[in-house]
Amino acid sequence: MPSKQPRRSAIKNLVMGSLAMGAIPALGSPTEKNKKEEEQYRMKGNINHSFCRWCYGGIPMEDLCAAAKKMNIPAIDLVGPKDWPMLQKYGLYSSMCNGAELNLVDGWNHKEFHSQLIKNYSDMIELAKKAGYKNIICFSGSRRGLDDETGWQNCTEGLKQIMSLAEKNEIFIVMELLNSKVDHKDYQCDKTAWGVELVKRVGSPNFKLLYDIYHMQIDEGDVIRTIRDNFQYIAHYHTGGVPGRHEINESQELYYPAIMQAIVDLGYKGYVAQEFIPTAKDPAGQLAALQSGVRICDV
């Protein structure tokens, strides 16, 4: 079996290079050296970068937006309407809007939630359109004993009632794939094949999947092949280190530069959002980890 050293060395070099170019001290003043190094780095432009707001919950929204601006990250994921004005203040984009969902367990696969979900998503579609955003997240919900066929039928029945409005407003409704092995026990849309079948049944060009690389590595693996085989059904990507959902550096088992290159090679033009939980406790350390993750994915 070939040595793993070249792979780990490559990631280490990427990480060290990112940190050398200046962890963003968003809550303090950067040194002159950091300023110069930051000015020297330019995103390659092949990936539209984003990150999930919830992973940095201890950092005030305005500070987080200011840090994103300094890092040249153009968007933040999972931001609802109440925080859109702050994004707009800093010229940032809401790459995946949330707030229409009930929660992660009460979803489209159970008909008793359809009435409220249809209202929520209909309202959110109108709000997103007005704000100039394109993507709204949704969830299948937990099985609670449902077989696959019933889950598909129920999701299809409910989602079809909002898709004409989504199409009219050029909004994408995007269902996230979550693992049911570790983090979200009993979640129904836990395999790419299940989500793809649902996309086919809904039959709208505006309903697609959020392929969470962390979650799908846990539940099915074979990430690059799966993405290549199903790229036309995917509207968005999330990252995360496996195991543990921490930094995507040499401490985990996935090699993100290769995954990102596969996505780029397929002609993907959407966003890739970092969704790892930083191990650092302080804001500066968390933002340094975010910057490093973005640089790793900037192929």
C-alpha span between 76 and 66 (Å, rounded): 12
C-alpha span between 98 and 135 (Å, rounded): 9
In a domain, 292, yes or no: yes
Q: What is the pLDDT along the chain (299 residues), one digit of tens a residue?
A: 443 344 444 444 444 444 443 444 444 444 555 555 555 578 999 999 999 999 999 999 999 999 999 999 999 999 999 999 999 999 999 999 999 999 999 999 999 999 999 999 999 999 999 999 999 999 999 999 999 999 999 999 999 999 999 999 999 999 999 999 999 999 999 999 999 999 999 999 999 999 999 999 999 999 999 999 999 999 999 999 999 999 999 999 999 999 999 999 999 999 999 999 999 999 999 999 999 999 999 99
What pLDDT is stored for residue 41 in this prediction?
73
In a domain, 174, yes or no: yes
What pLDDT is stored for residue 28 in this prediction?
44
**188 DSSP 8-state letter:** S
C-alpha span between 34 and 24 (Å, rounded): 8
In a domain, 28, yes or no: no
In a domain, 62, yes or no: yes
- Residue-number span of the structural domain to which 90 is assigned: 43-297
Phi first, then psi: what are they for 121, rounded to 5°?
-75, -35
In a domain, 90, yes or no: yes
Phi first, then psi: what are they for 157, rounded to 5°?
-60, -45
Nearest of 130, 115, 92, 209 to residue 162 by alpha carbon: 115
Number of domains in the chain: 1
In a domain, 213, yes or no: yes
In a domain, 258, yes or no: yes
Site of tokens 């649902």? 198
**82 DSSP 8-state letter:** G
Nearest of 11, 70, 142 to residue 288 by alpha carbon: 70
- Give the CATH number of the domain where residue 134 resides: 3.20.20.150
Q: Do residues 97 and 137 make contact, with C-beta atoms less than 8 angstroms apart?
A: yes
In a domain, 16, yes or no: no
C-alpha span between 109 and 113 (Å, rounded): 8
Given CA atoms 39, 43, 49, 52 in this order, what sign does their dihedral have?
negative
